[in-house]
Structure 1
Amino acid sequence: MRDYQVRRLTSVSAAQIQELAALLVDCVQGGASVSFMLPLGMDKALAFWRGVADGVERCERALIVAEDASGILGTVQLVLAQPDNQPHRADVSKMLVLRRARRRGLGEALMQHAEQVARDCGKWLLVLDTASADAERLYERQGWLRVGVVPDYALMPDGALCATTFYYRKLEPLALDNPVWSALGSGHRAMAQRNGLAARYPRDVSPLVGLREPSPQAFADLRAMVEVDEEVWLLTSNPLELPPEWELARVRYIDQMVYAGQGRAQPVAHAAPLLELGSDDVPDMIALAAETKPGPFVQKTITMGRYLGVRAAGGSLSAMSGTRMALGEFTEISAVCTSPAARGAGHARALMLTLMAQIQASGKTPFLHVKTENGAKQVYEKLGFVVRREICFSVIRRIA
C-alpha cells in the first residue's frame, strides 16, 4: 500500500517551488543528468521552477508530484505545448525522485499518472530521453519502446560526456478516454464550437461539451461559451473538480462498451421495416426520447449521424437508434430506445445489428455508453460488446 499520493498541480505555490528546487538540487548532487551542472545553487533551481510554474499557469506544461506528510518526494512533467503539426504529442521531462525516497515505487506511480494526464489532455504520443540505466528499466517495464542511443549527447553534472536513450509510447485508443473532445476535433469538427481548451456542440444539437483537460483554464474557456443557468454534459476519466462559477447537477459512472465480436455484424431479417429517419421524423423522435430517456435528443441531434427507426401499424414511432459521436476509428451508437408498448419484438437488436454493420463497412468500430444497471447491457454483450472502462458522466451548471 502506498504511503504517498500522486497528483497533478494546476498551480504551484511559493512553498511548493521551494520544495521542488530542493528536490532538483538533491538529484543533481546525486549525479542525475537533467540539464544542470554542479555546483547547483538554490537560486538557479528556484528560477527554473518559477519558469515551470509559469508554464503550468499557461497550460503549456502539466506538473505531477508525489508527496507525503513530509512534502514533495518526486515529480515529472509533461510538455504539452508542441508545434502546430504535432498536437497529439507531449514530451516527458524532469523525472526526479529524492534520493531518500527511492525504491518505493514513486517513479512507476509518477509515470502512470503522467500517462493518464496525457490522455486527459488529448495526447497519445509521448517521447522522452534518459541517461539512467535504472530509468531505462522502469520505462521498458511500462511498455515504452526504445528508439536508439545518441552518444555524447550531454554532460553529466560533473562534466563527463554521456549518451542518452530515446523512448516513445503510444497511448491508443486515446480518443475513447475523452470522447466528446475527440469527436469535436475529428469526425464532428465541422459542427464544433471551440474556444481554447474547450469545445461544444451547438445547443440545438447536443448538450455535450468536451475539455482538452479538466483544468481551471479549460473551465474558463468553456464558461465563455455557456450561458448562466445553462446545463452541459461531460464524459471524463475522473470526477471533476469544479471552479466556483460552476455547480454539479448530477454525476455518476457509466460503462463504455466497444464491439469486440468476431467478424462483421450481420443484419437480421425483421418483421417490421427499418426506416431511414429524417428531419420530418424529428418531432416523433423527440417524443420517443422523452418517453424512454435514452439520453439527450433535441431538434438537430439527428445531424450528428444516421438514424433508423421502426413505425407501428398506426404510424407511431416504436423504436429508433442511430450514430452519434464520430471520432477517429470509432463511431458511437446512441439513442437506442423502444416504446414500452413495442418491447419484446426485437426492434432494438435489429436496429443495432444494422447500424453495427454500416459502421464496420465504413472501416470504423462501434462503441456505446450505457448505465451499468441497464438491462440493455446484456443485449449489447450478446451482440459482441465488452466493457472497455467506466467513464464519469457529469451534468454541470454555470452559476456565475
Structure 2
Amino acid sequence: MSHAPQIRIPATYMRGGTSKGLFFNLEDLPEPARVPGQARDKLLLRVIGSPDPYGKHTDGMGGATSSTSKTVILARSNKPDHDVDYLFGQVAIDKAFVDWSGNCGNLTAAVGAFAIASGLVDTGRIPDNGIAVVRIWQKNIEKTIVAHVPITDGRVQETGDFELDGVTFPAAEVKIEFMSPVDPSETMFPTGNLVDQLEVPGIGSFQATMINAGIPTIFLNADEIGYSGIELQEAVNGDPAALERFETIRAYGAIKMGLIDRVEEAAARQHTPKVAFVAPAADYTASSGKAINAGDIDLNVRALSMGKLHHAMMGTAAVAIGTAAAIPGTLVNLAAGGGEREAVTFGHPSGTLKVGATASEQNGNWIVEKVVMSRSARILMEGWVRIPGDAF
C-alpha cells in the first residue's frame, strides 16, 4: 500500500503579543489552499495537529491552547491605502474546525514584521531607521489596523526592553491602532442597550453589556456569576461545570446579539462572541507571582477564548474593553468607577494592560475613532512546515 509523501510549505512561527502561530504568505500555499474552502481548512488543521482527542497537538505545530493554535495568511493588498491583507484562522483543538469569524489582536502585532520581512510592503515605506507604518486590512472583520514597527538599519527591530505581562522576555514595542473598530454605519451595541438582562435558561438571569468592537464580546459582572474577578486560569478551567455554564451563556448571548439563530449554531462559531467578566480593582497575585495592586489598575477583567479562561487577554477583547470603558454606563465603565475616560488599565491573570480609546456620542450613537495599545512580536522559527501530501 502506497502513501503520499510529505510536502513542505514555507512558514514562519511567530509570537505576537501573548499568542503565537504559523504565518504564511498566500502565494506560498499549495494552489488549492490559496482560496477559502475545505482544502485550506484541512491543510491548516494538519499543520496545527487538529483534531487531537489527546488535547496535546503532539503531531503538529499547535500548542493545544487557544493562544497557540493559530494561523495567519498574508498577501499584498489591492485595497487603496493599505499594504497587506491579513486573514486569521483560529484552529479548534479537538474538532476538525477552523473559525474564520474574527480577528486575533495579539497576532496583529506580528503582521507588520512578517509583511516587511516577506517583501509585502513597498521598500519606499520602510525607513533605514525609525518607525515603519504598516497599513493592514483585516479581512475577517473588514477593518483597518495600523502597526508602528520599529526599524534599525533597514530591518525590523525585534529586541528591546518593552515588557508585556503574559510574555516572559522583553522585546521591542509595537504600537497598534485599531481604526474605527466599529464603523459609523454599524451598530456597536446590537441590542440597542448599554446593559441588557440576559436570560439563560437553566442557569439564570444576568446583567450584560454586549458590544461589537474589536470582536463581539459579552461582558458580565463577576459577582453575579459567582466570581471575584481576580481568578487565575485554574479556578475556571479546572471546573468542567463552570466551562459548560459559560458556553451556554455565550450561546444565548450570541443569539441576543444576532450572531446566530439557534443555540446549536454556537458550536460552529467558537471564536466569537467572547465572554468576559468584570469587577472593581482589587489586589491579587498574577500567574507569574507578580503582585498586582488595586491602586495601579482601574478594574479587573477575565475573558474566555475557545471555551477556556485566557491566560492573559486577547488583543481583540482588549479593544472591546477599551471601547466599553470609554462609554459611560457600560458594565466595564461602571466597574472602572464610571464617568468619562480615554484610557483604562485593567488586571488580567498574567498582569496588567493599558488600552486607550477615543469615543464620542453622535446623534444618539456611540462612535469610536480608534483604540490604541502596545504589544511586541518576534520570529521564533522560520523555514518550512511539512504535512502529508494527501492531507488536504
Q: TM-score, normalised by structure 1?
A: 0.27
TM-score, normalisation: structure 2: 0.27
Greater gyration radius = 1
